[in-house]
Amino acid sequence: MRIFLEKSLFFGGLLAACFGLLSGAMALMIGVVFSLCFTMPYKKHLHIGIQYFLKIAVIGLGFGMNLTETIAATSASFKLTFFSVVATISVGLLLSKFLKIDKKLGHLITSGTTICGGSAIAAVSPVIQASSKTISIALGIVFLLNSIALLLFPVLGHYFGLSQHDFGLWCAIAIHDTSSVVGAALSYGEEALKIATTVKLSRTLWIIPLSVFSVFVFKTSVKKIRIPYFILLFIVAVISTDFELVSEGTTMLLVLLSKRILVLTLFLVGTSISVKDIKSTGYRPLILAVVLWVFIAVFSLVYILFLG
């Protein structure tokens, strides 16, 4: 009976997200409540599902972008992205050593905070030959902070009086996972969503040099480094809209469906939060993640407000 109830509530949440009955923040919170009260019936396939749905949603959002604006946003954010990546990795490596955290766990948490959350962890983990437990702990901590950021950042954005452009840029740099970046920007406005998606995807490309850097740090030998190929499809979507290869009606439908899939993804992210896994890690990895998160958030906000 309990299993039937869990599955019914789970699919009810999925349907509510798909039919536009939930906002991004609501979907996330309902997912978190579900994870606290019930057992996730499809936990084995959860992280794979999140990654695929997120990629589909991001590619679809590309149909609502303008090519010139996309290039301009990417170029304008390069310096901030570069400095934030270098600074956060440096602080992460030093703090991991100071807190005496397992080197691989510290590196995964630093990678997830610096680049793009779960995607960076998934790309770097085979490079450094991390165990499944280490990967799960890093993902759990990063997803927890992502969930908080999705709810907190829009409030802070309004408090600091950030424009749509500045908020989108701040989200893309300071929030780890793409799902939470797009979710936070979605609640702030259309321009914020476009800027956040574009800058975040350009930041995701830093997975490649980060993976190469990880090879040298851990002295491992790998035959293949994962490259986020879905970004190419996002660019194709932007170009197809700019050159009017897709009708306006189809474009609007694809963007709408992508936003619904994004909300569905946020519900799944919420259900993936495991308090038990996070408690089992101890306080030091969590301290590392929180300090890095605060560092990159303050660093990027100060840059945007005073140097941007």
State what percent of residues in the chain have pLDDT above 90: 15
Cα angle 293, 287, 215; round to 5? 70
- Domains of the chain: which residue ranges? 2-307
Handedness of CA 85, 87, 88, 91 (dihedral sign): positive
> Do residues 88 and 295 lie in contact, with contact meaning Cβ atoms separated by under 8 Å?
yes
Question: Model confidence over 181-194: pLDDT tens digits?
Answer: 888 888 888 889 88
Alpha carbon distance 203, 243 (integer Å): 25
Instruction: Determine the pLDDT at residue 70.
Output: 67
Greater model confidence, 157 or 306? 157
Question: Within 10 Å of residue 138's Cβ, how many Cβ atoms?
Answer: 31
Mean pLDDT of all residues belonging to the chain: 81
Instruction: Determine the pLDDT at residue 223.
Output: 55
Instruction: Determine the pLDDT at residue 63.
Output: 81
| Nearest one of 237, 42, 281, 23 to 140, comparing CA atoms | 281
Alpha carbon distance 110, 90 (integer Å): 9
Q: How many residues does the chain have?
A: 308
Q: Is the pLDDT of residue 219 over 80?
A: no
Cβ-in-10-Å burial (0-12, 13-18, 19+) of 140 comes to buried
Banded pLDDT at 31 (limits 50, 70, 90): confident
Mean of the pLDDT values across residues 223-230? 65
Instruction: Determine the pLDDT at residue 299.
Output: 92
SS3 category, 243: coil
CB burial of 100-123 (b: ≥16 within 10 Å; e: otherwise) equals ebbebbbbbbbbbbbbbbbbbbbb
Range with the lowest mean pLDDT among 160-174, 203-217, 289-303? 203-217
| Nearest one of 25, 65, 46 to 242, comparing CA atoms | 65
Banded pLDDT at 226 (limits 50, 70, 90): low
Question: Model confidence over 40-54: pLDDT tens digits?
Answer: 766 767 777 777 887
Greater model confidence, 155 or 236? 155
Q: Is the pLDDT of residue 56 over 90?
A: no
> Do residues 77 and 83 lie in contact, with contact meaning Cβ atoms separated by under 8 Å?
no
Alpha carbon distance 273, 31 (integer Å): 8
| Nearest one of 128, 130, 138 to 176, comparing CA atoms | 138
Q: From the centroid of its chain, how far is CA 48?
A: 14
Alpha carbon distance 91, 106 (integer Å): 11
